[in-house]
Amino acid sequence: MTKARALAEVRKYFEEGHFRGDLARRVAYRSVSGADANDADLLPYYAEVLEPDLTAMGFSCRTIDNPVPGVSPFLFAERVENPDFVTMLTYGHGDVVPGMDEQWDAGLSPWQLVDRNDAWYGRGVADNKGQHLVNLTALREVIKARNGKLGFNVKALFELGEERSSPGLRQVCRQHADILSADVFIASDGPRVSKEQPTMFLGSRGSAIFELTCSLRSGALHSGNWGGIMKNPAVVLSGAISSLVDGKGRIQVAGLLPPPIPFPVRDALSKLKIDSESLGRKIDEDWGDPTLSAAERLLGWNSLEVLTLKAGNPEKPANAIPPAASAFLQLRFVVGTAWESIEEVVRQHLDQAGYTDVQVRLLRGSPATRLDPASPWVEWANEAFRSVSVREPAVVPNLGGTVPNDAFSDILGLPTIWIPHSYPGCKQHAPNEHLPLAIAAQGLAIMTSVFWELGEPAARLARTRQQASA
């Protein structure tokens, strides 16, 4: 059997409609996670879908209890051929966001796969059922093409709580670091940089959400009787916010910025086409640091957003100085940002700027991650892409949004490569979620090539070189 044969078989599987059938069956599971999620809706996705598939491929499966009470367990599957072989850890999530059934276009439904405009519509086709189905299908075809011998070991971790921020994932990786140990992490989630552009991303930006409040008195004051001699919390808060990020989206505090963009990252970003055309929406050229390109502003730098602003009653403005004002802000940040000390950094800045009346409180955060684009594994993956794709893959140092990559890169210490089978317009988390057939077909070819090459000597060389550079 040859790689060409494996690629032909996977194409045949797709063209004969089997992949579509597999996807339709998965979409029908209403595996919605959330605060009031029920294991009865979620666990069948393991028991009836993943476990039978994985077992048939020679995996041994077991569940790992979630250390966070009330959240579904993890599914761990392992297929070891030889302890000396390269070991890949992969990941996927079987939970989805709510269906929003009423809001889909006529004739579409979140729980029934529908073909329209050369795409498949249904909840989870992009996030994440379709993506891990592509990977498991490719893996199965490579196993077959190699007569049952992959030439590498596979470990797979699945969860049912990703859409509620992966509770317990980090603890499980810490507690079970031994059984999850591997040489490389390869998984799929999130979007490509554009519909046509095969992509790999190597980490994700982090996120820190903090609240600013200015609460000066218990009741409102008449603006005619008191305006001019009493502080207005809304004005104070606006001033404080604009001292952090100005009206052009430029962060004003050095402690909220990353170190200069490293050369390999800058180089990788310079090769990406990130503009109004590739994103399908006109981007604001006069927003953010004018010395940075759009790719650098989106993926190589930090951005500070105001998520909410609250003061007075906008539905019914009164002639009054509101007693309090508050805002939620979010810092999206790249590797190297001292986000854990964000509360102190903002506090110190506000004190120095004279905003001692404004309180700051960090609510939650997740770290940024990024594999060095110069890693031997990236070079190896590039080769695997090149041999099946007409286009050079886009290498994105980190996703602009967030995947729980720190569990794998920081806690397990793995080189992480994400290969997305979706695109920015896929409507994940919204009505009309869809997966273009072309992306699914191309994803199957790419992953078949990746899994084929993982059993070849070049992968062992990448492992040796990565270990030497670590």
Binding-site ranges for Zn ion (CB under 5 A): 127
**By beta-carbon distance, which residue lies closest to Zn ion?**
127
In angstroms, give the least distance from the CB of 93 to Zn ion.
8
Q: Rounded to an integer, what distance in angstroms lies between the CA atom of residue 187 and that of residue 88?
A: 10
Q: Rounded to an integer, what distance in angstroms lies between the CA atom of residue 305 and that of residue 207?
A: 11
Q: Rounded to an integer, what distance in angstroms lies between the CA atom of residue 203 and that of residue 399?
A: 6
Quick one: residue 92, left, alpha or beta (phi over 0 = left, psi -120 to 50 = alpha)?
beta
Between 127 and 453, CB nearer to Zn ion: 127
In angstroms, give the least distance from the CB of 201 to Zn ion.
15
Q: Are 80 and 60 in contact (CB under 8 A)?
A: no
Residue type, 332: R
In angstroms, give the least distance from the CB of 429 to Zn ion.
6
| Mode of pairing for the β-strands spanning 324-333 and 303-311 | antiparallel
Q: Rounded to an integer, what distance in angstroms lies between the CA atom of residue 161 and that of residue 60?
A: 22
Between 127 and 183, CB nearer to Zn ion: 127
Between 376 and 404, CB nearer to Zn ion: 404
Q: Rounded to an integer, what distance in angstroms lies between the CA atom of residue 444 and that of residue 23?
A: 13
Sorted by sequence, the CB contacts under 8 Å of residue 454 that are 6+ apart come out as 86, 88, 150, 151, 152, 186
In this structure, the chain runs to a length of 470
Sorted by sequence, the CB contacts under 8 Å of residue 343 that are 6+ apart come out as 210, 360, 361, 362
DSSP code at position 256: G
In angstroms, give the least distance from the CB of 130 to Zn ion.
12
Quick one: residue 151, left, alpha or beta (phi over 0 = left, psi -120 to 50 = alpha)?
left
Tokens linked to 269:
């970003």
Q: Rounded to an integer, what distance in angstroms lies between the CA atom of residue 292 and that of residue 298?
A: 10
Pick the closest to residue 377 from 272, 453, 300 (CA basis). Answer: 453
